[in-house]
Structure 1
Amino acid sequence: MRTFILMVIDFFYRPFAKLMPLQTFRYLACGGGNTALDIFLYFVCYNFVLHQQTVYLPFITIGAHIAALFMSLAVTFPTGFLLSKYIVFSESNLRGRVQLMRYFMLVGICICLNYGFMKLFVEQFHIFPTIAKVLTTIFVVGFSYLTQKKFTFKVKAPVE
C-alpha cells in the first residue's frame, strides 16, 4: 500500500518539482487527503449523526460543533499518524513509540487550537460551523507541518 501511495503522489509531484521539495508536496497530499476526510466526517457527524443538537453527557454538555470535532478526530488521528510516519517523514530515525508520543502531544495542541478557533469563530463571530472548521484548519495545518518536521518526525544526527 505504501508503495502505491508513494507512486501516485510522486507522479503528481512532477509539475510542482520546481516550486517545493518532495517532502512538502507529500505532506500537502497526505495532509490534504486526511484534512478532506476530517472535514467530510465533521460535516456528516455534525449534520447527520448529531443533527446539530447539543450532546448531554452525565457530567458535561458539549455543543454539536465541538462533539463533531472529536468524532472526526477518532478516525483522522490514526490515519494522519500512519501517513506521516510511512509516507511523509519515513526517513525519521526516531523510535516509533517516540514518534507516536510526540504525535499525540502535537495532536493535543492541535485539538486545543481547533477548540479555541472553533469556539471563537462559531460562538463569537457567528460563522457557520463547517466554514469555521475550514478556517480553523488553515491555521492549524501550518503549525502542524512545522512541528512534525522539526520535532515529531525529525531525523536525529548519528552519534559518532
Structure 2
Amino acid sequence: MRLSGLIIRFVDWFYIRPVAAVLPRQTFRYIVCGGANVVFSWVCYFLGYNFVFDKQLLDLGFVVISPHVATMLAVFPLTFFTGFWLNRHVAFRRSPIPAGTQLFRYLLSVAGSVVVNYVCLKFFVEFCGFWATPSQMMATFVTMIYSYLAAKYFTFRHAACE
C-alpha cells in the first residue's frame, strides 16, 4: 500500500460522529493534513529560529534579515512541498486538474499565504512586541482560512472525495 493510502486510512479512522455529521470527509482530511503540516512548520520554525539562526540578524552583505523573517523563509520550502503532497494525495486526490497545473496554482495560492504570513509576522513581532514563535503561530491561523478557500476553489477545484 502507498504512503498516501496509509495516511488516508489513518485520517479516516478518526472521521466518526460527531465530526462526520458536521464536516464533509474532504474538509476533514484537509484540516488534518493542514494541521499536521502546520505543526511540522512550527517545529521547524522553533528549531530554525532558536538554533539555526540563534535569534541573530542574518547579514547577507546586501541586506540584513531579521531572524524571525529569515526563519520563515528557510522553513517555507519544506512546508510548501509537504503541504502540496498532502493536499494532492490525501485531501484532494480526485481533482481532474493536471499535476503541473495544480503545482503552479498551489504556488500562487501559497504566495498569497506568504504575503499574509509576512505582514502578520511583522505586525505581531515588530508592532505588538510579541515573541517570534507565538507570533508565527498567530500568523498561521490568519492564513488558514485563505489557504483552505484557495485550495478548494482554485488549486484543486472540482476534486471529488473517494
TM-score with structure 2 setting the length: 0.94
2:8 alignment counterpart: 6
Unaligned stretches of 5+ residues in structure 1? none
Coordinate RMSD, CA, aligned: 1.0
Displacement of 1:74 in angstroms is: 1.8
Q: Deviations over 1:93-147 (max 9, x none)?
A: 0011110000001111111111100000000000111111111011101110011
2:42 alignment counterpart: 39
Alignment of 1:95-110 (within 5 A): 95-110=98-113
Q: Partner of 2:56: helix, strand, or coil?
A: coil
Q: Deviations over 1:63-94 (max 9, x none)?
A: 00000001111211100000001100112100
Identity %: 35
1:144 aligned partner, one-letter code: S
1:112 alignment counterpart: 115
1:127 aligned partner, one-letter code: F
Write the distance in 2 (CA, Å) between the matches of 1:60 and 1:74.
Answer: 21
- Is 2:88 the counterpart of 1:85? yes
- Is 2:62 the counterpart of 1:56? no
Between stretches 69-78 and 45-54, larger displacement belongs to 69-78
Write the distance in 2 (CA, Å) between the matches of 1:44 and 1:38.
Answer: 10
Q: Partner of 1:18: helix, strand, or coil?
A: helix
Aligned residues: 156
Structure 1 runs of 4+ aligned residues shifted over 4 Å read none
